[in-house]
Structure 1
């Protein structure tokens, strides 16, 4: 009974950590992209994935928080396609994460899975940044010379994105891919409310209806899950 209660509190803590870090990234992204005027979302996302790669490696190889896990050393087309698809599609990504985190054949832990996923995302985002956001590096350096706070904003935003992705994987592992999607929808509604309180954004009746339906859907899912148990 005690172990079940501890497991429940652990899961609640994971979800709370995921929510808080996720909403923090969303709000900081909004500040950088809108209020601050740093209009380079692809570079910002690439910074996120770079932080995920570096911090995952530091946590595994240097701090030894979890053991380093390897995949098959030879190239495997199916694994490559799955990894690319996981980076490209949110819903499919969640399902694949659940399989990799729980299947007997792989059973990667969350840090190692993030370590292997993030560099692939960096490669794709770097290409997109160079093509779609030309001279963004020079512009960012110029901005840093005028206001060095942008460097701290980007570093903090990237580090926070690491915790978002790590807790995302942990929530997937300890709940399910479907639960993650439902929680993600609810998180969107919560983030909007927090954003309204901070940035005073106007909300239309259509938006309010959408948020209300989202919350109702989360409640119905929770009730259905309780009944299934």
Structure 2
């Protein structure tokens, strides 16, 4: 996990448009996402709750929270008649809802079959893909430090994926050098 965190730190340091508020928001969202993943893992494995039931229980509070935030920040859209009579908009909203249900269900399945830590590692890979797509589509500026951060994060993900092989290598190296392994 250390290389993944160091890569994220290098990305932050190398960010051209760095702002402390954005950094704090990103840090807070990462911590909350990790807490959510751990809670989901406990509910799915220890409490033996299936993915659809967990989605049902999570969707009701999420709906009311998002409804409240919509009324607070986008209240003018509620009264816009053009939005209410636009069938294409409602079709896109339904497609977006279906995508959200599928995404959350797959997230629960990944958490159930792997772990919350694996889900966080995949989240870091997702962030790297977003950076690459952003550079390709929008030609955003990327510094050398950010590129180094991406490479270090990818190295950390590779090390996480191969953790058992790395552990065996160091155990073999320890035996070859005459070191004594602690139990």
TM over 0.5, shorter chain: yes
For 1:115, the equivalent position in structure 2 comes to 56
Change (3 A) 1:175 1:130: same
State the superposition RMSD in angstroms: 2.4
1:173 maps to 2:116: no
User: Which of structure 1's runs of 4+ aligned residues deviate more than 3 A?
Assistant: 194-197, 225-229
Deviation at 1:110, TM superposition (A): 0.8
1:190 maps to 2:133: no
Deviations 1:48-77 (A, max 9, x none): xxxxxxxxxxxxxxxxxxxxxxxxxxxxxx
For 2:34, the equivalent position in structure 1 comes to 91
Change (3 A) 1:224 1:159: same
Equivalent pairs counted in the alignment come to: 137
Matching residue within 154, 158, 168 for 2:97: 158
Matching residue within 22, 34, 45 for 1:102: 45
Structure 1: stretches of 5+ with no match in the other structure: 1-87
Deviations 1:153-173 (A, max 9, x none): 222122111111110010000
Change (3 A) 1:138 1:201: farther
1:208 maps to 2:151: no
Q: Distance in 1 between matches of 2:132 and 2:158?
A: 18
Q: Distance in 1 between matches of 2:115 and 2:94?
A: 31
* Contact 2:77–2:83, Cα closer than 8 Å, also in 1: no
Q: Distance in 2 between matches of 1:196 and 1:159?
A: 28
Change (3 A) 1:154 1:201: farther
Q: Distance in 1 between matches of 2:165 and 2:79?
A: 54
Structure 2: stretches of 5+ with no match in the other structure: 1-30, 169-183
Q: Distance in 1 between matches of 2:69 and 2:153?
A: 32
